[in-house]
Each structure stands twice: as C-alpha cells, then as structure tokens.
Structure 1
C-alpha cells in the first residue's frame, strides 16, 4: 500500500491549489476543475483540495472546528518562509505552541500548517 494523495476540504479548490502552488513551487495538477484542484510533484504525492458546500474552516487552536489534520513543511529559513507565505495570503495565529521548534500558519482556507526549520542531515532522524 502506498499513500498517493492527501485531500483537504475547502470552499474554493482553485484558489487553495494556487496558494500551495505558489508556496511550494509544485505544479498544478493537470485536471483541476471547479470541484477539485491540487498540486503534485511529478510521479509523487498529490495534495488535493475539494469543494465542500457550507465549508467551515478549522479554528486554531480551539476545538470548536477542529483542524483534523495539518501539514508540516521543512524550510531553510524560517523568517524568510514566513514572510513569503504571509505575502501569499497565509496568516499567523497568535497562539504558537512551541515557537523555538516550529511556526504555525494557516492557509487562506484556515487549515493550520507548520513551518519546521530544516535540520542538517547528520541531526535528522
């Protein structure tokens, strides 16, 4: 068994696919349409976004609308990545559980995701 896709609910799949395309540089999926869009590394995992009627975004860090999942992204420069993603439409919630280890942002649809400073290979693991 091999994981081939992760799909997030949202109100506007095309807009969210565009955000992640600009954020990660991953190409847009060739079959994006009004109800479903995504980004995908060639031959790799698809990050998809599906339209949900009356979508209600997660409320970080509260549990009234739980996050249900979040994505982690390794970055070389935390401050640079944060600034670039904020300019693309991400938001930085006030609550940061461990800012020395990672930074929580939310995408334009409200899904929380973490930026994690990339560790040198010798430290990873």
Structure 2
C-alpha cells in the first residue's frame, strides 16, 4: 500500500512549508535533510534533500522522466492566487486550456491544479 510520495529538493523544510500553505496539514521533521507533511485523508508528502539542487525545466523532452502532483480544487482561480502568493510560478506552457493549470513550485517541480469535474475519472477502469 502506498503511504507517501517523496519529493527531492534542496531545502526540505522550505518546500514542505510551501505545500503546507496551500494544502494545510502538519509538518514533521527529524533533521534538516527530511520533512514530512501529512494532509487530509492520510496522504503524506515527504521532502528529502538531494545533492543536485538544479531542477529540470518543464516542459523539456530531453529532461529525465519525473512524477508531478495533481490537486483537485473547488475554485481554480482562487487556488491559483493561493499558490502564487505562497511562492509558485505559473508555468509558461499551459496544455490544459481552461481545464487545469500548471505551476512550478519553489524548488522547480511542476504541479497541476484542476477543478473537481476535470479531476474526476470518467472512463471505465482499465
């Protein structure tokens, strides 16, 4: 069973604080190299320090594969303002049109905000 998603970054505490401003939750830290954020529904985001702090640009087809986070929100415009105030940047490339928006967190990771209707699965299970 999946219990956490771990995000590599140069400053775990700062990045955990960024996501906490947007998502809420509780932060736990044992040292400067690792911080965990628990949010509603038992989801845990872990942040760990890595030696290479330079993020890959998005979108860049030459960049290594990566995972990004998608968040369902009730009001896309209001959520956009919250993440921008917390330190995110709106990505230049926006492939979702009005359905979702791509942002870059302070450590350079892309993430998306989508309204609940867009986030809902509409097809039959695979």
**TM-score, shorter chain, exceeding 0.5:** yes
1:65-121 Cα distance to aligned partner (Å, 9 max, x none): 34601000001111111011101000001110112211000110011000001129x
Q: Given the two structures, how large is their TM-score scaled by the length of structure 2?
A: 0.86
Equivalent position to 1:51, from 25, 49, 52? 49
For the aligned residue pairs, the C-alpha RMSD in angstroms reads 2.0
Off by >6 Å, runs of 4+ in structure 1: none
Unpaired runs of 5+ residues, structure 2, are none
Q: Higher helix fraction: Structure 1 or Structure 2?
A: 2
Q: What is the number of equivalent residue pairs in this alignment?
A: 121
Q: Higher strand fraction: Structure 1 or Structure 2?
A: 2
Q: Given the two structures, how large is their TM-score scaled by the length of structure 1?
A: 0.87
Tell me if 1:22 matches 2:31. Answer: no
Unpaired runs of 5+ residues, structure 1, are none
